[in-house]
Structure 1
Amino acid sequence: MNTSYASYTIEDFIADDYFIQSVKHPAPASDAFWADFLAKHPSQQENVRRARLGVEQLSVAAKHEVPFQETPAIWSQIAKELEEPPKRIVEIVLNFWKPALAAASVIIALGLGWGWYKSAPKGKYEQLISAAKSPLEEVANTTSTNLTVNMPDGSHAILKPESKLSYTKSFTGNIREVYLSGEAFFDVIKNPNKPFFVYANGLITKVLGTSFWVKAYEADKQVTVLVKTGRVSVFAQKNTQNPDPETNGLVLTPNQQVVFGKADERLTRKLIERPVILLSPQELKQFSFTNASVTDIFTALEKAYGVDIVIDEELMANCTLTTTLSNETLFEKLDIICEALEATYKVVDAQVIITSKGCN
């Protein structure tokens, strides 16, 4: 067993006998070894994942036949897609895999396998569940109504029709992981010591305990996450090569959503279409204003909806209004206030920006 895996590249893992055997013939001891290794070296997670897929493809590829002389050219193309040195990869295949798998027959299948993998959407559901390290429980909603899925830790998901959800049969270890294709509302039991991760078509949502929606149908060009309570962290799956991928993501709070474009892998934060009041009816009774400063009114709206409202306080220092926080939606309230003040507003990155000429 090699002790220098921390510095291994993808090609090194593919050529390593112990790694190959661990993938082809998993056992409790090897599973424990790799779990411990990845816990200590999280930066190697992507290399190990891709190497594992490579070994699995190589194993399947033994069933195919292809002329041996075609292998170097095909591997060179694969190498370009993997961003690894072609010469070294060809050497690995010819030297390590030829005796066991007839390397010539391996290459064309690998070319097809990796070509499909690279062109497929990142984090596709079937890929994710096939690469999962622990046994999964899958629930598919083939009905026309919502389906409640109860998970091992007491968390639950409301699964929409034509949606699938997979999760580990027992949430052991340091994290809780689920995989979604379609749409679901999650209500997650709080556990600061064991984060909850949702993998959905290239987007990862991490929470400690909260409720939120995820919409991630395979055919859609976008993945959307909407927050009802608490906070969630979202980031693109491609950033998992970063030791701290959350630094490249966004943190969402109630009444916020993120839209993730699968093609450009861009994250865009927005307000949800109809922000809801986050205060209790008793708290809302306190928000009745008579000839009050608009600064106080906007502050109350911020508290009620959890939304940042940006104004020029000096310019609007003399502006006053009489109003209450009644049954109108947030945007209806903003329309009423801005019309009274001859002001305008727009939403930028989930913030409301008020533009006004001030008041005499």
Structure 2
Amino acid sequence: MTKDKIIKFLNNQCTDAELDETIRWANTEAFSEESIKRAFDEWKTYREESNEGDDEKFSLLFDKIRERINSERQKRNKTGNGNQIFVTRLTRAAAILLLPVLAFLFYTLSEIYDMKSESVSLMQLPVDSLEIIAPVGSRTVVQLSDGSKVHLNYGSRLKYPRTFTGNTREVLLTGEGYFDVAHNPERPFIVQAGEFSIKALGTAFNVMAYTDNDEIETTLVEGKVVLEKSGPEGKIIKNVGAILPGQHVSYNIKTGAVSCTEVNVEKYIAWKDGKLVFDEANILQVAERLSRMFNVTIEVDDDIKDYTYTVTFVDEPLFQILNLMTIATPVRYNALPRSKLSDGTYSKQKIIFGKKQ
């Protein structure tokens, strides 16, 4: 089985004969000694030949895989069967696409389908840390070895050890996560988010730290956390202070300014339950949230940037939200058609907001 045929399978470009060959290989040979050795050889070659465009290519491939999973899940909801066969074939067929891709599939699929932990042991890969990614348009729940639970928002990633050792429990967050931390006064739980760290013993809090945002935000639901600024190699250089339940802290990466306010925490944590809560949010803030949630690009004309919204959406589709916004305020939107790229995929949907004439 060649890598080109596997890629054709994932892009739905196989002939009938190639599809039969891929399924046969996935069911009988994917995890043979020869296939595993070939995967390692492919990984070594990839590391030597990798370039800046590779990450984007894999991201596009992940989107394809997620779309296929969602499609099969919808079929399962209608028919009640076929799901396990699909998951097995897809994860095995992806083996040749290098071990990091295999790891991604196992952990994403385990969260989506609640598979038993022993069936997704990552082939006992020789690593001491793991990383899980919530694909764009999806939320993911991670159960850590200490019993703590982490909800990851769209496009977020969490790096964490397979088993916590030492005097602390440390994880690395990029994006947004809601943490329900198992209580252990002997071993503080620390979330590293950029140059900011949040330390807790046993509590529930939300952290938002997207790389394209100048603000790192923390909202405490219950318990107590200590905020610290870290320097190179995670060394603590400043104790910012502690916050109490109901408080929201925002740290500006560029200026170093810190603000702390009393808030309605539901506004900041409702996303984990599929809700979008806006409370006097301006249209730029709304556009930012919608862009991440639906993987689109939204531009806002200058003359409507002062418009604000107070509303809660529960699992609403994008264009229904946009239509409601045009009813609530004198705005209009134009959804530009997506363009087909050279690899057969499509560009992001672009939406432009302007003032009604």
Report which of the two structures shows the higher radius of gyration computed on alpha carbons: 1
Q: Tell me if both proteins adopt one fold, taking TM over 0.5 as the criterion.
A: no
